[in-house]
Amino acid sequence: NRKEKQIEGEVVQPDGDAGSSIEADASAPSEVVDAPTSGARAAVGEAPGESVDPPDEELGGDSSSSAENLADDTGKTATDPKGEVQESEDFARMIDESKVEDHSRDIKVGDKVSGVLIKIGTDSSFVDFGGRSEGVIKTSELRDEGQGGKGEIRFSEGDPIEAFVMEEGQEIVLSRFLRQEDRNADFLYQAYKSGIPVEGKINATNQWGLGVDIQGVRAFCPISQIETTFVDDTEAYRDQTFSFKITEFRNQGRNIVVSRRALLEAEKDKEADEVRSGIKVGAELAGKITRLEPFGAFVDLGGGIEGLIHVSELIHQRVEHPQEVVRQGQDVKAAVIRVKNLGNKRKERISLSLKALLKDPWEELSEQFRPGTVTKGKVDALEDFGAFVELAPNVRGMVHVSEMADKRVEHPREVVSVGEEVQVAVLELDRRRKRLRLSIKQVETLEDASNLKEFQRRQQKEKDEPSGGNALIDALKRAQLVD
């Protein structure tokens, strides 16, 4: 019957309106199944056009049950207090889970984060990297490398720092590199994928490179990956501890190749960016002479950045080779005079000058060597077109071959020789181009003219002197012995 089917979870859908299942029309010729009375489980009585009315209590109970089941069928569930409590708990749990998920999306193990060191403790320090909480890093990792965590602390509170996420959860654990206790094949693979530096000790050397012990895991560093420059003696690295970057991870960690050079170059690139930020025309930079060439001297400015001092920019006088002025390994201070393609490693050109920081002797030459002046100098070089004469320290002029003598001269050596002291006349002084044009053949002419001019000047001075300046002459004039 219908009640048994309802108990089993099936719904009996009556024909017509739902109300006809409860109140049957007594005059209807159809058969009606009466609800059982108390203690009865079967339908009773059939009569055409007649129905047996159920007791009120049974009708009330059945009607309530039927209405509830019909409400279930239409999706209108009755309110259950226990269901409301369960839904509230589920909703709260979903909120908590969403918070954890948000946090996990912020960072993950292996991520590299940048932050500020806000607290340095005895064992642990704290880094604010913009997350939901501060990161914890061992204070020993802030000390000088290679001293077993007992060196001086390299950082101060407030300093920027970069580290890697080692653990996440209630506490975020950071590390500047993988420590020995974390080294195993799985973690080294994670370090390989994320680029996290690892620390290793050199326990073997040969002509091809270094054997590195990473807490029981063997790795190999090729000789070309030890330094940024060529290494010819690997034995000097034995028993030392360095940081490395894993460049190859094969055969589940049985073949690991590491590189120290990669980390050094990364550090150098960072330093190079800082150096480039200060390079501009007019800036004064400190550096070291790395090599000398006939055309100039190369200067290391730091971070692998080199500048060139052209041979003409060493000093104010003429230089045949840079070794006359500077030497390899010498510390210098130079001014930036030109910059081209800054930041492009292949096309970057930085032109420097030493003489730009020296006092220019030509600033004082206008009065000392005016055109028409006759002076002495020493011949210090001979060329086919003329002779160079040094008039003062760092000041040289040129005597063209046509100004050597009144006769035709094929080569300056026909008239002068290197080291000879000669008299020259200044014909022209060009301060902008810093050139002095001299002459030997016009010395006598200009000297005579200079002497004549000086004689005339003195005569004029004597005429301008008051006559009372000589008592003897005044007396002779009064005696009419002289005009």
Domain count, the chain: 5
Please give the average per-residue pLDDT across 254-277, as a whole number: 89
The alpha carbon of residue 185 and the mean position of all alpha carbons in its chain are separated, in whole angstroms, by: 32
**Residue with more model confidence, 31 or 308:** 308
Residues 352, 391, single domain; the answer is no
Q: What are residue 17's phi and psi, to 5 degrees? A: -75, 155
Q: In which band, very low, low, confident or very high, does the pLDDT at 251 lie, cut at 50, 70 and 90?
A: confident
Residues 319, 220, single domain; the answer is no
88 in any annotated domain: no
Using CA atoms, how far apart are residues 34 and 53, in angstroms rounded to an integer?
Answer: 7
User: Domain boundary residue among 357, 390, 424?
Assistant: 357
- pTM of the complete model beyond 0.75: no
131 in any annotated domain: yes
218 in any annotated domain: yes
104 in any annotated domain: no
Residues 376, 325, single domain; the answer is no
The confidence score (pLDDT) of residue 92 equals: 53
Please give the average per-residue pLDDT across 177-185, as a whole number: 56
Residue the block writes with tokens 């946090």: 103
Least reliable range by pLDDT among 43-52, 112-121, 406-415? 43-52
Residues 162, 130, single domain; the answer is yes
Tell me if 397 sits within 8 A of 437, measured CB to CB.
yes
CATH code at position 251: 2.40.50.140
81 in any annotated domain: no
User: Domain boundary residue among 149, 175, 201?
Assistant: 175
364 in any annotated domain: no
Residues 203, 308, single domain; the answer is no
Long-range Cβ pairs for the range 123-127 (8 Å, 24+): 127/161, 127/163, 127/174
Residue the block writes with tokens 């060597």: 369
Using CA atoms, how far apart are residues 225 and 261, in angstroms rounded to an integer?
Answer: 5
126 in any annotated domain: yes
393 in any annotated domain: yes
Nearest to 309 by CA among 123, 317, 325, 396: 325
CA atoms within 13 A on the CB side of 101: 6
Residues 252, 293, single domain; the answer is no
Q: In which band, very low, low, confident or very high, does the pLDDT at 15 lie, cut at 50, 70 and 90?
A: very low
Burial class for 127, CB neighbours closer than 10 Å (0-12, 13-18, 19+): buried
Tell me if 356 sits within 8 A of 337, measured CB to CB.
yes
Which residue segment(s) compose the domain that 375 sits in?
Answer: 370-483
Is residue 70 scored above 50 in pLDDT?
Answer: no
User: Domain boundary residue among 139, 158, 175?
Assistant: 175
The confidence score (pLDDT) of residue 373 equals: 82
The confidence score (pLDDT) of residue 167 equals: 81
Residues 259, 216, single domain; the answer is yes
Q: In which band, very low, low, confident or very high, does the pLDDT at 188 lie, cut at 50, 70 and 90?
A: confident
Residue the block writes with tokens 């990473």: 214
